[in-house]
Amino acid sequence: AGISGNSAICLGNNTVLTASGGLIYLWNTGDTSSSISVSPLINTTYSVSVSNPGCPAVDSAALTVVVNPLPVIGATPDAVTIILGESVILNASGGLSYSWSPVAGLSDPFSAVPSASPLTTTLYYVTGTDVNGCRNLDSVLVIVSEDFAVVLPNIFSPNRDGQNDKLFVSEKGAKWIRLIIYDR
């Protein structure tokens, strides 16, 4: 008697176990076919008794299927808003290799830290794969806004006291700014 098939799977997957060495099969699951599909949630040992018609001899074989946990894939930030034309760095963790989708607007869809600059609001998914070949995913929502903001203080005092000594313009999303000061 013999059993062939994958002895290691990822949680949630299945494998086909095939018995050999005879014509009559009885698995510990109750199945009587030569092949069974199994999807255990924990490490499980499967056994089969094998015989031939008219022969009293019975042989058996066993195979333990090891269930590897799925990797815990994290993608950050969970959600972020950018101005159209800006970019944001996405970050994936928990795997050995990564694949982002959709690929539109990404600097490298196979990087753990791609730069994203989509033209419209996009939900990016990252699939991470671990050392056992098990995969899991997470997502990042990049919201694209066409708004912009300019912040300009209404007063400054360049008297070198360390408070409000410099006049500066803070902007987000503006392509250019023209500042004209007429008087106090």
Across the chain, mean pLDDT equals 91
Q: What is the pLDDT of residues 153-167, one digit of tens each?
A: 777 788 888 877 887
pLDDT exceeds 80 at position 11? yes
Band (pLDDT 50/70/90 cuts) for residue 174 is low
Q: What is the pLDDT of residue 167?
A: 77
Q: What is the pLDDT of residue 38?
A: 98
User: What would the mean pLDDT of 80-94 be, rounded to a whole number?
Assistant: 93
Torsion (CA) 94, 95, 97, 98 in degrees, nearest 10: -50
pLDDT exceeds 90 at position 29? yes
Band (pLDDT 50/70/90 cuts) for residue 180 is confident
Mean pLDDT: which of 63-67, 143-147, 160-164 is highest? Answer: 63-67
Q: Where are the beta strands (DSSP E) in 12-148?
A: 15-20, 24-27, 35-38, 44-51, 58-68, 74-76, 79-83, 88-89, 91-93, 97-101, 115-116, 122-129, 135-145
